[in-house]
Amino acid sequence: MKNFTPTGSCPVRDVLCRLGDKWSMLVLLTLNANGVMRFSEIHRTLGDISHRMLTVTLRMLETDGMIRREVYAEVPPRVEYRLTERGGSLLPHIFGLVEWAEANKEAILDGRRRS
């Protein structure tokens, strides 16, 4: 019987849980779709993320090396975000999930309504 007890270093739990939050995936998707983006642009494309949660999410993604943050010493300040290679390498897997979700969406929502 294969075990899934916490070993203290499970990559699923360590790494992926950070991506399972409300916004990380969407930030990666919009950066992938639109290339280099400013803070306010990302904010607009997501629409309903709060100012605060966007900064928090961006910081976490930066810490994990998924995105790169570049500050320009201008007034008013300009900050640009882009995917790193590591971030880009994750995207095909996300797309796999998205396609699966699209394919199974109807059936799943149907089942939820029934119960």
Q: Which residues of the shown chain bind DNA in the complex (CB under 7 A)?
A: 21-23, 38-40, 43, 48-53, 55, 58-59, 69, 71, 76-79
Q: Tell me the three state secondary structure of residue 104.
A: helix
For residues 49, 51, 55 and 56, what is the CA-based torsion angle, rounded to 10 degrees? -60
Binding partner of 112, given its own copies, DNA, none, CB within 5-8 angstroms per partner class: its own copies
Among 21, 36, 40, 78, binds its own copies (CB under 8 A): 21
DSSP 8-state secondary structure symbol assigned to residue 64: T
Cβ–Cβ under 8 Å, residues 28 and 35: no
Binding partner of 40, given DNA, its own copies, none, CB within 5-8 angstroms per partner class: DNA
Decide if residue 71 touches its own copies (CB under 8 A). Answer: no
Q: Distance between terminal CA atoms of the chain?
A: 32
Binding partner of 50, given DNA, its own copies, none, CB within 5-8 angstroms per partner class: DNA
Binding partner of 73, given DNA, its own copies, none, CB within 5-8 angstroms per partner class: none
Q: Which is nearer to its own copies, 22 or 52 (CB)?
A: 22
Strands (E), the chain: 37-38, 67-72, 78-83
Decide if residue 53 touches its own copies (CB under 8 A). Answer: no
If residue 58 lies in a helix (H) or strand (E), which one and from where to where?
helix 51-63
